[in-house]
Amino acid sequence: MISNINTYLTDLMGPAGPLIAMGVLGVFFIVMTLPIFLAKKEDPFDRLAGSAVSKGPVSRAAGQPKMELREQKKGPNLDKFAAYLEPQDQQEYSDRRMKLIQAGYRTKDAVRTFHALQLVLGIAGLLIGALYTFVLSGGTSDIKWLAIQTLGPGFAGYYTPIYWVEKRRGTRQEEILNGFPDALDLMLVCIEAGQSLDQAVQRVAKEIQPSAPALSEEFTIVSNEMRAGKDRPEVLRDMAERCDCQDISAFVTVMIQSATFGTSLGEALRVYAGEMRDKRVTRAEEKANKLPTKMTLCTMMFTVPPLLVIMVGPAVFDIYIHMVQGK
C-alpha cells in the first residue's frame, strides 16, 4: 500500500512528490494543534473581578451608558498570543518597537500586530505558491525551480511588513526634515515674543499641523511630556530618538547646551534656524543637480532608438531590397 501511494505521488508531482506530501501533512498537523498550545487559561483575578462586578450594586440610571475610565482597545485582541508574537529578547523587542514608533505606529500592540502580519502573510504566500505549483502549473521535475515557486511567495509575504515599515520610516523622516526649518522660524518668533519654551512648542505643534503632521505630532508629545513634569533634556532626547534625523539630534543638542550654559535661547534658535534654511536650499539644489544624470538613461532609452530607426531604417530597407532583387 505504501509503495502504491509513493508511486501515485511520484507520478502526480514528480520525484519530490512524497517529500512534498509529508511537508503538507506536517503543516496540516501543526495548524490543527496550534489552538491547543495557544489557548490561554482564564486568570483567577479576572474571574474574581467579573464576579465582583456582577454582584455589585447598579447605580446608573436607566438608559445611561456605562462610563469607562480608559478607552477600550480596538482591533484584534492578540494578548493571548503575546508569547508567540513578541521577541523574548528585551533588546530585540525595544529595537523593533522603536522602528515602529519611527514609522508612526505608537500603539501598545504594534509589535504583536507586526509579527502577526508577518506570520499570516508568510503562510498565505506559502499556500499560494503551493497552489500555483501543484495545481495550476501541474508541477515540475526541477527541484530548484519547484522550491522557488513554492517558497518564493512565502518569503515575499514574510518580508512585506518589513519593507512597508522601512518605507514609512523614510517617508516620515523626509516629511519631518522638510517642515523643520519652518517650525524653527515659528518657534523663534514665539520665543522672541516673550513666550516660554513650553508655550512655544505647544503653539508650533498647533500651527504646523496642516503642513507637517508628523512633526506636529512629535512637538505635541514633547509638550505633553513637559507639562506632565518630565525632565526637559530627557524629553528632547526621546524626541531625537523617535525622529531618527540628524537635524533633529543637532537641534536637541543646541537646546540642551543652551539651557546648560545659560546662553540666550532666542539667539541659538536664530543661528540654527538660518543653518536649517540654508541646508534645505542645499538639499533642493542637490536634487536638481542629480536630475540631468537621472534623465540621461531615460533619454537613451526613449530618444536614441527612434532616432536610429528614422536615420538608419531607410538605408537598411534599401539594402534589403537590393539583396532580394539580386537573388
Q: Which residues contact 208 (CB under 8 A, 6 or more apart)?
A: 179, 182, 183, 186, 215, 216, 219
- What pLDDT was estimated at residue 54? 45
Q: Which residues contact 282 (CB under 8 A, 6 or more apart)?
A: none
Integer Cα distance of 60 and 66 in angstroms: 8
Integer Cα distance of 148 and 145 in angstroms: 5
CB 124 within 8 A of CB 149: no
CA 215 to mean position of chain CA atoms? 17
DSSP assignments along 129-176, one per residue: HHHIIIIIS---S-HHHHHHHHHHHHHHHHHHHHHHHHHHHHHHHHHH
Type of residue found at 166: E
CB burial readout 80-96, b (16+ within 10 A) else e: ebeeebbeeeeeeeeeb
**Which SS3 state, helix, strand or coil, does residue 198 take?**
helix
> How is residue 64 written as a grid cell?
445611561
pLDDT along the chain (327 residues), means of 10: 69 67 68 58 52 45 43 52 65 87 86 87 87 69 75 88 92 90 90 87 90 90 89 90 88 87 84 87 88 83 83 84 77
Q: Which of 253, 108, 276 is nearest to 176 (CA)?
A: 276
- What pLDDT was estimated at residue 15? 67
Q: Which residues contact 251 (CB under 8 A, 6 or more apart)?
A: 180, 184, 240, 272
DSSP assignments along 102-124, one per residue: HTT--STTHHHHHHHHHHHHHHH
- What pLDDT was estimated at residue 169? 92
- What pLDDT was estimated at residue 27? 67
Integer Cα distance of 74 and 248 in angstroms: 32
- Positive or negative torsion for Cα 2, 4, 8, 11: positive
Q: Which residues contact 44 (CB under 8 A, 6 or more apart)?
A: none
- Rg of the chain over Cα atoms, rounded to whole angstroms, equals 31
- What pLDDT was estimated at residue 306? 84
> How is residue 311 written as a grid cell?
536615420
CB 129 within 8 A of CB 146: no
> How is residue 118 written as a grid cell?
508577518
Q: Which of 255, 221, 250, 254 is nearest to 238 (CA)?
A: 221
- What pLDDT was estimated at residue 304? 81
Q: Which residues contact 263 (CB under 8 A, 6 or more apart)?
A: 257
Integer Cα distance of 95 and 109 in angstroms: 15
Q: Which of 257, 205, 210 is nearest to 226 (CA)?
A: 205
CB 53 within 8 A of CB 68: no
Instruction: For residue range 10-68, list pLDDT tens digits in order.
Output: 776 666 666 677 667 766 666 666 565 555 555 554 555 555 444 444 444 444 444 44
Q: How many CA atoms lie within 13 A of 26 on its CB side?
A: 6
